Chain A
Amino acid sequence: MQATEQPEILEMRKRISSNKLRDHIFWIVGLFSTLIGFALLFTLIIDLFIDGFPRLSWHFFTSYPSRFPEQAGILSAWVGTILVMMVTAAAAVPLGIAAGIYLEEYGKKNWLTHLIEINMNNLAGVPSIIYGLLALWLFVYFLKFGESILTGGLTLGLLILPMVVIATRESIRAIPNSIREASYALGASKWQTIKDHIIPYSVGGILTGMIIGLSRAIGETAPIITVGALTFIAFLPSSPVTSGFPFLSFKWLLDPFTVMPIQMFNWISRPQTAFHLNAAAAGIVLLVMTLVMNGFAIYVRYRFRKRIKW
């Protein structure tokens, strides 16, 4: 057999093995790059857990901050975070969905919508402190909402609004045109098509965008500091439920607040090591909150993908 080997065949084999060598080299480079990123993140999380885990206890969740590190807890911080997130979602989601639907389904394709589109993508990349400055002027000084939960929530709402709009538009764009035509061909009006088809079929993508936006907002510190969240809050906002008629109260919206990352920032900037451990423990809680939200986003996406495949 080897006696009849053609020189071209030998040449080809040489080429193949040199191509394979390049394959291997790239495989090693790729693996190495992946491992660096992963290992760093992993070390960070392990470090956080080693420092913070012993501090996690029931007492830690149910106590206010204190000048004694062993007695300090994150009650006001996690309650504040949840309330601020509620305001953020209530502000950004309806606005973002409506804007996304308008841009995709109603907006004529002209230079104005094109400009809005470019701006929208730029807004998603604006540094968060800029939003903080805008909010400080708009909500605190102009609308006089004060340094309150309402201000904080609306600020973060502004921050994630472009993300909700972009997610809405992307999932609307994924709906094939044949579905719209099917609806219009049956005599449906534009609004009927939007409410019966466009919104229901894009709800998975919209929810995913919303949760990912919120999980970014939950860790934001700079804009919240700018609008004046306090770092030491030893009380809870007023209760949204009251004993007398009408049983609901929105007074909490105007109460001062703190949130998880600010509480962490406060502890980490103190000299005592014991406070640093508290910060690590709060970090774990914040990390878990974010991961749970991201996990929920993945679950929602999976659920809707299973039902609707284009």
Chain B
Amino acid sequence: MAGLVPGMIPEKLKAEVKGLNFYYNDLKALKDIHLPIANKLITALIGPSGCGKTTYLRCFNRMHDLYPNNRYEGEIILYPERVNIVDPRIDPIEVRMRISMVFQKPNPFPKTVFENVAYGLRVRGVNKKCLLDEKVEKALKQAALWDEVKDRIDDLAFNLSGGQQQRLCIARALATNPEILLFDEPTSALDPTATAKIEELILQLKKEVTIIIVTHNMQQAARVSDYTAFMYLGEIIEFDRTDKVFTRPSQKLTEEYITGRFG
């Protein structure tokens, strides 16, 4: 359970999760989740492996609809229209057009750098070369990758380093101006230098987009996020401002987790 916490203004929410349950077949993976998502701020989800944080994140862009026998209950209200994005009557493609995702491992397409970034736009029917050029450049600049790749924009994306590939995936997700950007452990496959770059970038991006990040790295959550939710066994144990969660957690379980006594 988690409602508004001090400092959160209802008018400044981008989304609000209300009583969300999620089932894989008969397995209840998420149990009655309530969570406000602040607009243009960063919300981190932490918790031990298997606690449901990735499952939860993937509800936001309806990724679970790709596989059979998955079921949502409850609501994720997207503001300002107050549309429930897990309502089966809402087309998952529409949700994914508005909410982008960056995955755990860099997963560029085996296409050129340019085509990777342009793909989301092409899906939306943008095919004019000059418009694509402009938007691709803007997205690559936002993802702090432009200077490194501007001379090899037509090279295959697989030739980039791991960290560059992940920033390329961020650029690809940004190119379509998403309202929310989901990060699923974006640095777990990267070395410390590349991780630092991505973290810096995530901090930059919150000026423009609402961010939800799943991480197993507590220092990362402490460094980048404004709000932190601690999940355990499919439930939200604690949700508060990040500094408070990490300095004065109210739940015993949270304290044990952040001090490394389990998880």
Residues of A within 8 A of B (CB): 108-109, 176, 178-189, 192, 196-197, 201, 307-309
Contact = CB atoms under 8 A, between A and B. Distances in A.
Contacts of B61: 185
B68 A187 contact: no
B52 to A, nearest CB: 18
Nearest to A184: B66
Given A179-B109, A181-B107, A186 B158 contact: no
Interface stretch (B77-85, B95-103, B210-218): B95-103
Contact of A187 (B63, B66, B176): B176
A201 B63 contact: no
B101 A185 contact: yes
15 contacts: A108-B68, A179-B110, A181-B107, A184-B66, A185-B96, A185-B100, A185-B103, A186-B100, A186-B172, A186-B173, A187-B120, A188-B119, A188-B123, A192-B123, A307-B110
Contacts of B66: 180-181, 184
Interface in B97-156: 97, 100-101, 103, 105, 107-110, 119-120, 122-124, 156
A187 B123 contact: yes
B67 to A, nearest CB: 10
A196 B111 CA distance: 10
Interface residues of chain A: helix, strand, loop or mixed (majority):
helix
B109 A181 contact: no
Contact of B119 (A181, A196, A201): A196
B169 interface: yes
Contacts of A180: 66
B205 to A, nearest CB: 17
Contacts of B173: 185-186
B103 A178 contact: yes
Contacts of A307: 110, 156
B105 A186 contact: no
A275 B238 CA distance: 90
B196 interface: no
Contacts of B100: 185-186
Given A185-B61, A186-B96, A179 B119 contact: no
B103 A201 contact: no
Contacts of A178: 103, 105, 107
A187 B110 CA distance: 18
A187 B100 CA distance: 8
A182 B63 contact: no
Contacts of A309: 158
A214 B105 CA distance: 39
B93 A181 contact: no
- 10 nearest interchain CB pairs? A187-B97, A178-B107, A186-B120, A185-B101, A308-B110, A187-B96, A182-B107, A188-B123, A187-B123, A187-B93
A174 to B, nearest CB: 12
Contacts of B63: 181, 184-185
B96 A179 contact: no
A186 B119 contact: yes
Nearest to B110: A308
Contacts of B120: 186-187
Nearest to A175: B110
Contacts of A185: 61, 63, 96, 100-101, 103, 173
